[in-house]
Amino acid sequence: MPLVFAAIMPHGGEIIPELAEDPLLMAHTRAGMMAIGSEFTAAGIDTVIVITPHGHIYQDVITVSYCKTATGALDGPRGVRIGASFNVDTDLANALLNHPTLPMVGLTTDDDTLAFPLDWGALIPLLFTADTNESACKVVVLAEDRGLSRDVLVAAGKHIAQMAEASEKRIALIASCDLGHAHDADGPYGYHPASKVHDDSFVQLVADNRLEALLEWDEAFLEEAKVDAYWQTLMLYGALTVVPMSVSFHTYEAPTYFGMLTASYLRL
């Protein structure tokens, strides 16, 4: 079966109620994540590919999980720890690595007892999707170097969709994305009006299903807005050029210093 589902999902830790000092802080986004989780389950996904901006990143390459298992945990207040473990779809990972020119590099180990470590950018979307699925959903985790050209990132997304189309499994693709990180003067990146401009524009492009317009965005603008979503979304865009999908925009909010958007895609 082909690529049947996709999503843009954020990874703010307080989306997880058990990790939040104030469970109401990101309640709007949490509702969007839960809606995506319900759609994911209904789609009967066998393998989910997650593109994270916070994983194992090496210069000039896109890393691909190639261990047999993947696991991760996040610590919250009052000693709470939330985690999950998954089997890695090594067959699909191997297919992604089998490209003559794309800089895909597999991360593996000779010790079968060692699991691929899941960062929060991968784990939080998975907690709302694969971890809630009653079937044995497998995962593949990708992380891109932001220095790669836009053409390479789009081509990588096309390759992901092509390998999914060649598979007998039902596959989902998640771009793990927070948006502008300069919404609050007291935040770690300070305040810049470009973050709101960026987020407003990004929301509109997603809602209108016009991700191709991202290719025209200026590097200086992205730096001013302190974005986190751009590169993963270009890979998603590449996949959507191979497998057209309809979009459902769910939520946007910026309750702290960074913006968060939830949206899902279903195969036409």
Per-residue confidence (pLDDT) for residue 136, from 0 to 100: 79
For the cut 90, the answer to whether the pLDDT of residue 1 exceeds it is: no
Average pLDDT (197-213) is 98
Per-residue confidence (pLDDT) for residue 109, from 0 to 100: 85
Amino acid residing at 243: V
Per-residue confidence (pLDDT) for residue 113, from 0 to 100: 82
For the cut 70, the answer to whether the pLDDT of residue 133 exceeds it is: no
Residue 78's pLDDT band (cuts 50, 70, 90):
confident
Closest of 7, 1, 4 to residue 244, by C-alpha: 4
Residue 57's pLDDT band (cuts 50, 70, 90):
very high
Per-residue confidence (pLDDT) for residue 110, from 0 to 100: 81
Query: Which ranges of 72-182 would DSSP assign to H, the alpha helix?
Result: 90-97, 120-128, 150-165
Amino acid residing at 75: D
Per-residue confidence (pLDDT) for residue 55, from 0 to 100: 95
CA distance 236 to 157: 6
Tens digits of residue pLDDT in 246-261: 999 999 999 999 999 9
For the cut 90, the answer to whether the pLDDT of residue 134 exceeds it is: no
CB 54 within 8 A of CB 82: no
- Mean pLDDT, the chain, rounded, equals 96
For the cut 90, the answer to whether the pLDDT of residue 46 exceeds it is: yes
Domains and their CATH numbers in the chain: 3-267 (3.40.830.10)
Rg of the chain on CA atoms, in Å: 17
Q: State the sign of the Cα–Cα–Cα–Cα dihedral 189, 193, 197, 199.
A: positive
For the cut 70, the answer to whether the pLDDT of residue 16 exceeds it is: yes
For the cut 90, the answer to whether the pLDDT of residue 132 exceeds it is: no
Per-residue confidence (pLDDT) for residue 112, from 0 to 100: 81
For the cut 80, the answer to whether the pLDDT of residue 79 exceeds it is: yes
Provide the pairing of β-strand 104-107 with 3-9.
unpaired
